[in-house]
Chains A and B, each alone.
Chain A
Amino acid sequence: SYVLAQPPSVSVAPGKTARITCGGNNIGSKSVHWYQQKPGQAPVLVIYYDNDRPSGIPERFSGSNSGNTATLTISRVEAGDEADYYCHVWDSSSDHLFGTGTKVTVL
């Protein structure tokens, strides 16, 4: 079955850039979606189709996807960006699959 690997945690200072990776075999051939989840809340879609933003999501959120790694980039990080982030793909062996999740801590 397909596996998506994310780093357990990423720490970043306010105003700096956070990069969260999502590794998978030839993930560049798939559409990758990203979700933000704050404690006690439902997930929120922040990026779909690798680098599209839903309405209401700040331009500070962007994505890329190539080879075996997809990346969610958060520019000019704010305290309110502190959350868990999950990548998501569909694969014929696993159907819908989420990454292991990355906790972003704003220092």
Chain B
Amino acid sequence: EVQLVESGGGLVQPGGSLRLSCAASGFTFSTYWMSWVRQAPGKGLEWVANIKKDGSEKYYVDSVKGRFTISRDNAKKSLYLQMNSLRAEDTSVYYCATLHCTAASCSPTEYYFYHWGQGALVTVSS
């Protein structure tokens, strides 16, 4: 059974830092792109970042560029999100998710989020 378990959420002051972790099991972690997706309270879903299977490529939504860093440790089957210079508008539930492509040719448009974790709540407030 595929499992993604996020941890590391909590309350942090504006300007502070937090590191989220996502522990994966039940699938070959190193063979999948991984993502972070967030959801502010009462709001919709927002993609945050992607990382390639081997960690060699990383992509971010504009609002977090320069502040957040996505990384992974394939030996530990873990995904991370280092969040610095946090702002009130970063308050959200953060989900880790697997990115899948089953098309004949896997261009970026062919990827979808398949397995999701249960989410970790990050609250940025003084």
Contacts and interface: CB of A to CB of B under 8 A. Distances in A.
Interface of A: 30-31, 33, 35, 37, 41-45, 48-49, 54, 86, 88-92, 95-101
B contact patch SS? strand
Interface stretch (B16-24, B66-74, B75-83, B107-115): B107-115
Contacts of B46: 98
Nearest to A34: B112
B26 interface: no
Contacts of A96: 35, 47, 50, 111
17 contacts: A35-B113, A42-B116, A42-B117, A42-B118, A42-B119, A43-B95, A48-B112, A89-B109, A90-B108, A95-B47, A95-B108, A96-B35, A97-B47, A98-B44, A98-B45, A98-B47, A101-B44
Closest 5 CB pairs of A and B: A96-B47, A42-B116, A33-B112, A98-B45, A90-B109
Contacts of A42: 95, 116-119
Given A35-B45, A96-B35, 19 more contacts: A31-B109, A33-B112, A35-B113, A42-B95, A42-B117, A43-B45, A43-B113, A48-B100, A49-B102, A86-B45, A88-B113, A90-B108, A90-B109, A90-B111, A92-B108, A95-B61, A96-B50, A98-B45, A98-B47
B112 to A, nearest CB: 4
Contacts of B111: 90, 96
A90 B114 CA distance: 15
Contacts of B112: 31, 33, 45, 48-49, 88
Nearest to B107: A90
A45 B114 contact: yes
B113 A33 contact: yes
B109 A30 contact: yes
A24 B6 CA distance: 32
A100 B44 contact: yes
Contacts of A90: 108-111
Contacts of A31: 103, 109-110, 112
